[in-house]
């Protein structure tokens, strides 16, 4: 019977408290439920031990059985103390079950400082329950206090904690002896022979054996039925087993790592507040702001974060089997929450949930870390997904992207995959990948997989193992060469580490009205106050395409300088544009953010299919003076135009790769070096640090490399469509003008112009503009 129904039959306990108890049970808040049960038992105890005489009431009926004339009676007997005692026994059973639930919530297969704190709380519950039943032990209380105060110090050794629990185990034994063994010892010696040897036929030795045998059975039954005694004994025994197991099998350094581990700090949902980790130190900058926006109602894909604590405790987590298994369980638990929100199932070919796995550092490092998209795909899932309307092409494109990022994470180069897709462009006579048929895209994806297999790289088909591996790859990318270069130049401490953000994948590559892009909430070319969207986007692409600088983007706003008319997002997808504008207003005016750089993706041209992938502060630095070319530009040889994203006029020499940079630094020490690249991929960040200017054929103002160039104060021109770079041959062309390494070149980071040769420049003072 429902215990709350039973409780409401009596007047001992307030209905409001019973309702609180019922709610706590429904929410599976077992600790609150246990505390309430204890408060009920305490109230009943006052009734039972009240010195005042209670008033009994009975309604008894007597009758004689008609058939055989046996007298019988029935009816009701009510007496407050008697009823309180009976109800107490019922509540003890409930409290025992609740205590079992509370104990189940902590993992006793390993012991950490956090586990010890949880253990102390539970032991205190045991102590309170035993005292309600009249069982006290001052030695037990003293050793509990020893445990409590030991947790405030970081200086106690592991062996000292083993000693404390040995003391507690001894206290439980003494409690059992005092309240159970000694209490019944003498009566049992008298009663057992009277019951089982009435004729005194047993010898003295046999009688002793009988008493001992029957007493043992009796003691076992009494202790097992005693309130909380056996659960307490089992609890402390399990703790001691775990402590000794660790002492026997782990090195001191690993024990130290495990002891300082706190499972409450390693994972956090984006959609639920968690005061312990809701800060940039644990979540990283990306996830921290995504979480704030999701909680504020912004369209953020559901997901969760493996915090920087996982990075710091990575060795312990993945080398200790219990910690590793617990981590996997936590990931599965949070994955289930994402599945529920997305209404998809990870690994289900009929309705697959795909995931993005991205880094998230406390200090923004655009493009320095690895990202893996479309995690959760294999041959079977991709084939099934490709049969769904709208996914015929995008399923194989997504699989191709996963395979490429997997291969590159294990050491393959982008060029190896580019050569594969270029061969298919020749085969099918197409210029852009969006022109491939679904059948051709499937061939390309399988060719990518063959490229991986041919190099001995194993692609993980089990999607959960795939998720674990990709997560580890992102953590490991903190130690990549480009991340080290980034930290070295920006003087970012190695100890910060990274979080990993795992979210539902949004398909910006689904069809011709889906896409991805990046916007600045304030136009950096004008600096005018208020929200004025400026940025890049491209159709049928995924989140990394724009920021990695691998595509030629189109302008977001119609007012942006562009030779192509009617190509802006504002004109083609006005509802998406308007929604972006609304979100920018909310961010900067309602939530009080500075002007932001926003990465977004959309699955259709409907506003409800727009999602925000990331935000970061827009770099609003504004120099008081600019460098410009002196004299008339008509006398300068203009060879190309792109988008100026940083700096003013710059004279320099051409470099295509790291070798060129090293040679030119020695042969042309007084010249600025301008890095010329076909596109701006994250791997180029190290070269951007070592050069003074940047010129690219693809990529927009919002690509990671361009943003990094601006952040470092480099002069940059991007998206110069007439630029063709032949890196292996060591030259490039701009409208039939050829440049080789070391040739003189000039760029204008304001106008976006590119010139052959070097020209006089001057610094011009301008009115300083105050910007927020």
- Check residue 63 and give its pLDDT: 63
- If DSSP codes are grouped into helix, strand and coil, which group holds residue 638? strand
Q: pLDDT tens digits, residue range 549-563?
A: 567 788 999 988 656
Q: pLDDT tens digits, residue range 313-349?
A: 998 998 899 999 999 999 999 999 999 999 999 999 9
Q: Above pLDDT 70, what percent of the chain? A: 94
- The ranges of the chain annotated as CATH 3.30.470.20 are 515-617
Q: What is the rounded distance in angstroms from the CA atom of residue 726 to the CA atom of residue 654?
A: 13
- If DSSP codes are grouped into helix, strand and coil, which group holds residue 697? coil
Q: Is the pLDDT of residue 166 over 60?
A: yes
Q: What is the rounded distance in angstroms from the CA atom of residue 307 to the CA atom of residue 319?
A: 18
Q: What is the rounded distance in angstroms from the CA atom of residue 409 to the CA atom of residue 302?
A: 25
Q: What is the rounded distance in angstroms from the CA atom of residue 715 to the CA atom of residue 563?
A: 22
- If DSSP codes are grouped into helix, strand and coil, which group holds residue 514? coil
Selection from 383, 330, 328 nearest residue 352 by Cα:
383
Instruction: Give the pairing of strands 715-718 and 355-361.
Output: unpaired
**Worst-scoring range by mean pLDDT, 274-288, 450-464, 533-547, 569-583?**
533-547
**Domain 625-765: top CATH class:** alpha beta
**Worst-scoring range by mean pLDDT, 110-119, 201-210, 432-441?**
201-210
- Token pair 């104060």 is at which residue? 713
Q: Is the pLDDT of residue 582 over 60?
A: yes
- Check residue 635 and give its pLDDT: 85
> pLDDT confidence of 704, banded at 50, 70, 90?
low
> pLDDT confidence of 766, banded at 50, 70, 90?
very low
Q: Would you state the structure tokens that stand for residue 752, as one six-digit string?
A: 């976006």
Q: What is the rounded distance in angstroms from the CA atom of residue 433 to the CA atom of residue 427?
A: 12
- Check residue 769 and give its pLDDT: 34
Buried b (16+ CB within 10 A) or exposed e, 262-299: ebebbbbbbeeebeebbebebbbbbbbbbbbbbeeebb
Average pLDDT over residues 249-276: 93
- Check residue 454 and give its pLDDT: 95
- Check residue 109 and give its pLDDT: 92
Q: Is the pLDDT of residue 623 over 60?
A: no
**Worst-scoring range by mean pLDDT, 56-65, 136-145, 375-384, 423-432?**
56-65
- Checking phi first, is residue 22 left (phi over 0); if not, alpha (psi -120 to 50) or beta? alpha
Phi and psi at residue 268, in whole multiples of 5°? -150, 135
- Check residue 689 and give its pLDDT: 87
Average pLDDT over residues 120-129: 96
Task: Count CB atoms within 10 A of the CB of residue 676.
Answer: 28
CA atoms within 13 A on the CB side of 465: 6
Buried b (16+ CB within 10 A) or exposed e, 45-73: bebeeeeeeeeeeeeeeeeeeeeeeeeee
Burial class (CB in 10 A: 0-12, 13-18, 19+), 766: exposed
Q: What is the rounded distance in angstroms from the CA atom of residue 427 to the CA atom of residue 440?
A: 10
* Residue range 515-617 in CATH 3.20.20.70: no
Q: Beta partners for 62?
A: 73
Taking only Cα atoms into account, the Rg of the chain, rounded to an integer number of angstroms, comes to 36
- Check residue 404 and give its pLDDT: 95
Secondary structure (DSSP) of 529-577: SS---EEEEEES--HHHHHTT-S--EESSTTS--SSTT-SHHHH-HHHH
3-state SS, 39-65, equals HHHHHHHHHHCCCCCCCCEEEEEEEEC
Q: What is the rounded distance in angstroms from the CA atom of residue 305 to the CA atom of residue 291?
A: 10
Q: Is the pLDDT of residue 531 over 60?
A: yes
- Token pair 């009929």 is at which residue? 350
- Check residue 686 and give its pLDDT: 83
> pLDDT confidence of 66, banded at 50, 70, 90?
low
Q: Would you state the structure tokens that stand for residue 90, as one six-digit string?
A: 């019922």
- The ranges of the chain annotated as CATH 3.50.30.10 are 625-765
- Check residue 681 and give its pLDDT: 73
Instruction: Give the pairing of strands 744-748 and 649-655.
Output: antiparallel
Average pLDDT over residues 718-725: 91
Q: Is the pLDDT of residue 228 over 90?
A: yes
> pLDDT confidence of 485, banded at 50, 70, 90?
confident
Q: Would you state the structure tokens that stand for residue 511, as one six-digit string?
A: 């069809």
Q: pLDDT tens digits, residue range 678-701?
A: 887 777 778 888 999 999 988 777
pTM exceeds 0.85, yes or no:
no
- Check residue 398 and give its pLDDT: 96
**Contact call for residues 404 and 448 (beta carbons, < 8 A):** yes
Q: Where are the alpha helices (DSSP H) in 296-413?
A: 308-312, 314-319, 321-342, 379-385, 394-409
Residue 466 to residues 181, 458, 473, 497: CA-CA distances in angstroms? 57, 11, 10, 22
Which has the higher per-residue pLDDT, 541 or 551? 541
Selection from 145, 142, 150, 149 nearest residue 174 by Cα:
142
- Check residue 563 and give its pLDDT: 61
Selection from 98, 273, 237, 243 nearest residue 162 by Cα:
243
- Check residue 460 and give its pLDDT: 97
Q: What is the rounded distance in angstroms from the CA atom of residue 118 to the CA atom of residue 121?
A: 5
Q: pLDDT tens digits, residue range 2-31?
A: 888 888 888 889 999 999 999 999 999 999
Q: Is the pLDDT of residue 248 over 80?
A: yes
Q: Which residues contact 585 (CB under 8 A, 6 or more apart)?
A: 531
> pLDDT confidence of 486, banded at 50, 70, 90?
confident
Q: What is the rounded distance in angstroms from the CA atom of residue 420 to the CA atom of residue 681?
A: 18
Q: What is the rounded distance in angstroms from the CA atom of residue 622 to the CA atom of residue 643?
A: 18
Q: Is the pLDDT of residue 365 over 70?
A: yes
Q: Is the pLDDT of residue 772 over 80?
A: no
**Contact call for residues 33 and 98 (beta carbons, < 8 A):** yes
* Residue range 263-504 in CATH 3.40.50.720: no
Q: Which residues contact 342 (CB under 8 A, 6 or more apart)?
A: 302, 353, 504
Q: What is the rounded distance in angstroms from the CA atom of residue 751 to the CA atom of residue 175?
A: 86
Please count the helices (runs of H) and the strands (runs of E) in the chain.
27, 25
> pLDDT confidence of 765, banded at 50, 70, 90?
very low
- Check residue 12 and give its pLDDT: 87
Q: Where are the alpha helices (DSSP H) in 429-556?
A: 438-454, 463-476, 481-490, 543-547
The overall average pLDDT reported for the chain is 89
- Check residue 302 and give its pLDDT: 98
Q: pLDDT tens digits, residue range 170-219?
A: 999 999 999 988 888 899 999 998 898 888 888 889 889 998 999 899 98
- In which order are the strands placed within the sheet that holds 643-646? 637-641, 753-756, 744-748, 649-655, 673-677, 693-696, 715-718, 643-646
Q: pLDDT tens digits, residue range 393-436?
A: 999 999 999 999 999 999 998 889 999 999 999 999 998 888 99
Q: What is the rounded distance in angstroms from the CA atom of residue 420 to the CA atom of residue 408?
A: 14
């Amino acid at each position: 019977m429902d215990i709350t129904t039973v409780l409401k039959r009596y007047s001992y306990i307030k209905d409001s408290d019973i309702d609180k108890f019922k709610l706590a049970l429904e929410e599976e808040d077992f600790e609150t439920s246990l505390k309430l049960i204890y408060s009920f038992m305490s109230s009943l105890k006052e009734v039972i031990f009240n010195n005042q005489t209670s008033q009994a009431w009975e309604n008894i009926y007597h009758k004689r059985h008609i058939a055989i004339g046996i007298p019988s009676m029935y009816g009701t007997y009510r007496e407050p103390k008697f009823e309180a005692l009976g109800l107490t026994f019922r509540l003890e059973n409930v409290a025992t079950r609740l205590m079992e639930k509370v104990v189940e919530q902590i993992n006793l297969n390993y012991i950490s400082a956090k586990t010890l704190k949880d253990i102390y709380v539970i032991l205190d519950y045991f102590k309170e329950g035993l005292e309600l039943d009249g069982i006290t032990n001052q030695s037990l209380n003293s050793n509990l206090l020893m445990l409590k105060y030991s947790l405030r110090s970081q200086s106690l050794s592991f062996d000292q904690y083993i000693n404390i629990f040995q003391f507690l185990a001894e206290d439980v034994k003494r409690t059992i002896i005092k309240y159970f063994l000694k209490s019944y010892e003498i009566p049992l010696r008298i009663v057992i022979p009277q019951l089982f040897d009435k004729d005194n036929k047993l010898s003295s030795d046999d009688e002793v054996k009988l008493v001992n045998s029957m007493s043992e059975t009796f003691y076992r039954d009494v202790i097992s039925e005693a309130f909380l005694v056996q659960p307490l004994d089992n609890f402390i025994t399990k703790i001691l087993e775990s402590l000794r197991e660790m002492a026997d099998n782990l090195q001191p350094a690993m024990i130290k790592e495990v002891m300082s581990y706190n499972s409450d700090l390693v994972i956090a949902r984006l959609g639920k507040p968690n005061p312990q980790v809701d800060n940039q130190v644990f979540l990283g900058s990306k996830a921290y702001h995504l979480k704030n926006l999701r909680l504020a109602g912004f369209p953020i894909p559901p997901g969760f974060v493996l915090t920087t604590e996982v990075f710091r405790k990575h060795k312990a987590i993945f080398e200790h089997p219990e910690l590793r298994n617990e981590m996997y369980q936590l990931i599965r638990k949070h994955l289930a929450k994402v599945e529920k929100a997305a209404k998809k199932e990870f690994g289900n070919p009929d309705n697959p949930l795909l995931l993005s796995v991205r880094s998230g550092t406390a200090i923004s490092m655009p493009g320095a870390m690895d990202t893996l998209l479309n995690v959760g795909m294999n041959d079977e899932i991709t084939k099934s997904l490709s049969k769904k309307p709208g996914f015929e092409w995008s399923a194989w494109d997504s699989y191709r992207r996963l395979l490429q990022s997997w291969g590159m994470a294990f050491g393959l180069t982008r060029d190896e995959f580019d050569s594969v897709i270029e061969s298919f462009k020749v085969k099918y006579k197409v210029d852009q990948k969006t022109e491939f048929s679904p059948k051709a895209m499937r061939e390309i994806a399988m060719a990518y997989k063959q490229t991986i297999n041919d190099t001995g790289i194993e692609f993980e088909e089990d999607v959960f193992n795939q998720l674990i591996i990709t997560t580890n790859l992102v953590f490991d990318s903190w130690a990549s060469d480009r991340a080290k270069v980034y930290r070295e130049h920006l003087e970012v401490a190695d100890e910060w580490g990274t979080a990993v953000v795992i979210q539902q994948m949004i398909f910006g590559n689904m069809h011709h009205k889906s896409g991805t892009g990046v916007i600045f909430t304030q136009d950096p070319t004008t600096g005018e106050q208020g929200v004025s969207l400026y940025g890049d986007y491209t159709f049928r692409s995924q989140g990394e395409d724009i920021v990695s600088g691998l595509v030629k983007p189109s302008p977001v706003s119609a007012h942006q300088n562009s030779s192509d008319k009617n190509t802006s997002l504002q004109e083609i997808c006005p509802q998406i544009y308007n929604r972006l504008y609304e979100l920018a207003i909310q961010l900067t005016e309602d939530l009080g953010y500075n002007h932001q750089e926003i990465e977004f993706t959309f699955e259709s041209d409907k506003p409800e299919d727009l999602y925000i992938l990331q935000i970061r502060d827009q770099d609003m630095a504004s120099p008081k003076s600019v460098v410009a070319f002196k004299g008339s530009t008509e006398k300068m040889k203009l060879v190309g135009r792109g988008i100026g994203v940083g700096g003013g006029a710059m004279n320099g020499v051409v470099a295509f790769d790291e070798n060129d940079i090293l040679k030119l630094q020695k042969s042309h020490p007084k010249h600025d070096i301008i890095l010329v690249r076909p596109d701006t991929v994250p791997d180029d960040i190290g070269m951007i640090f070592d050069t003074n200017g940047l010129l690219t054929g693809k990529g927009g103002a919002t690509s990671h490399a361009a943003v990094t160039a601006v952040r470092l104060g480099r002069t940059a021109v991007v998206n110069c469509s007439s630029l063709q770079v032949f890196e292996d041959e060591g030259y490039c062309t701009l409208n039939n003008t050829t440049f080789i390494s070391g040739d003189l070149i000039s760029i204008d980071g304001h106008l976006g112009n590119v010139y052959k040769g070097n020209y006089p420049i001057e610094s011009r003072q301008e009115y300083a503009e105050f910007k927020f």
